[in-house]
A and B are shown apart, each in its own frame.
Chain A
Amino acid sequence: MHLAYPAVLSALLFCTGLYGVLARRNAILVLMSVELMLNAVNLNLVAFDVWLSRAAADTLHSGQALTLFTIAIAAAEIGIGLAIVLAVYRNRGTSDIDRLRDAAEGPDDAPETDRAAKKAEATA
């Protein structure tokens, strides 16, 4: 098989995930796009490992081992990410990334500092 087929498919999937991460508003949809990007990397790793499998004594099948590690880390990442999204939803009532602007700097900076000052005052 031509190596360009899996490599091109992987590049296209990665860019699809990139578009999703940049364009989506819901945090869970952003997490789905991150999963797409991770899968694109996995496909690349598997394809190159199969390409180099004749030299497996030198490469130690590192592509497939790294793919398994990536899958496990992606599972951990989705668990932590969903826990964070649920905590944010519970506290703020929304999971839209556009509305979580507490750390943003911009024209509406003054009320944020005002609120932070009042909160610090209330807790002090």
Chain B
Amino acid sequence: MSPATAPHGFLSPTGVEIAFVLVGLVTFGAALVTVTTRQLVHAALWLVMALGGLAVEYLLLTAEFIAWVQVLIYVGSVVVLLLFGLMLTRAPIGRSPDADSGNRWAALVVAVAAAAALVWVVVDAFRATWIDLDGTAAGSAKVTGASLFQHWVLPFEALSVLLLAALVGAIALSRKAKADRAAADIPGARSDRPTEGAR
């Protein structure tokens, strides 16, 4: 990847590095299948694999609390929400031919250009930087909790307000459509007029 100038050997990677690269390849492959498959439910299930792989990467980086939060929130709830969304919008089971829009080649060009630029800059910037993974874990629950509730209490509380606002907002969004439809059903013919005029 880059010539090593530190006392670490570039051609003798440690076991953690080998595991990181292998899990990273699996994660990247699952992410690629997620954005390219034409079966919508399979995309959600491949997303589970990508997010689980990222949790393993967090464990390899000794950030164990974040890893379990990742498993809990992303794999546990976000993907389930996405699957519910796919079911409620009646996503077709099986291959759907119009999963990709017409500008996929432009998107591919943009993504490959961004990937090349980012990888080049990142490798060039951090070619002689090493993470010291020995010693105490950098992200155990004790360390994370201490820093979170000593230095980050105010953002934490603000975040709880944001979560409450998001909860209320989601409920309001779901209820408002129902109330609108009920209001549209009662007058009946009057709300149908503009759509007929458009036709």
Contacts and interface: CB of A to CB of B under 8 A. Distances in A.
Given A3-B129, A23-B100, A71 B73 contact: yes
Interface string B139-178: 1000110011001100110010011001101100110110
A65 B152 contact: yes
Contacts of B69: 68, 71
Contact of A115 (B14, B28, B101, B194): B194
A58 to B, nearest CB: 11
B51 A25 contact: no
B198 A85 contact: no
- Interface size bucket, A side? 35 or more
B61 A47 contact: yes
A87 B174 contact: yes
Contacts of B20: 1, 5-6
Contacts of B32: 16
Interface in A47-106: 47, 49-51, 53-54, 56, 60-62, 64-65, 67-69, 71-80, 82-87, 89-91, 95-98
Contacts of A87: 173-174, 176-177
A49 B133 CA distance: 12
B178 to A, nearest CB: 8
A18 B110 contact: yes
A19 B112 CA distance: 8
A34 B170 CA distance: 18
B111 A36 contact: no
A22 interface: yes
**Which of A29, A54, A87 has the most B CB atoms < 10 Å from its CB?**
A29
A35 B78 contact: yes
A50 B35 contact: no
Contacts of B34: 16, 20, 32-33, 36
Given A8-B122, A22-B107, A72 B194 contact: no
A12 B116 CA distance: 9
Contact of B103 (A2, A22, A76): A22
Contacts of A7: 122-123, 126
Contacts of B122: 4, 7-8, 11
B89 A89 contact: yes
Contacts of A62: 152
A16 B51 CA distance: 13
Interface of B: 1-2, 8, 10, 13-14, 16-17, 20-21, 24, 27-28, 31-32, 34-35, 40, 43-44, 47, 50-51, 54, 57-58, 60-63, 65-66, 69-70, 73-74, 77-78, 81-82, 84-86, 88-89, 91, 96, 98-104, 106-108, 110-112, 114-115, 118-119, 122-123, 126-127, 129-133, 138-139, 143-144, 147-148, 151-152, 155-156, 159, 162-163, 166-167, 169-170, 173-174, 176-177, 181, 190, 193-194, 197-198
Give the 8 A-B residue pairs with the shortest CB-CB distance, closest first.
A22-B107, A20-B35, A76-B166, A19-B111, A61-B147, A15-B115, A53-B138, A11-B118
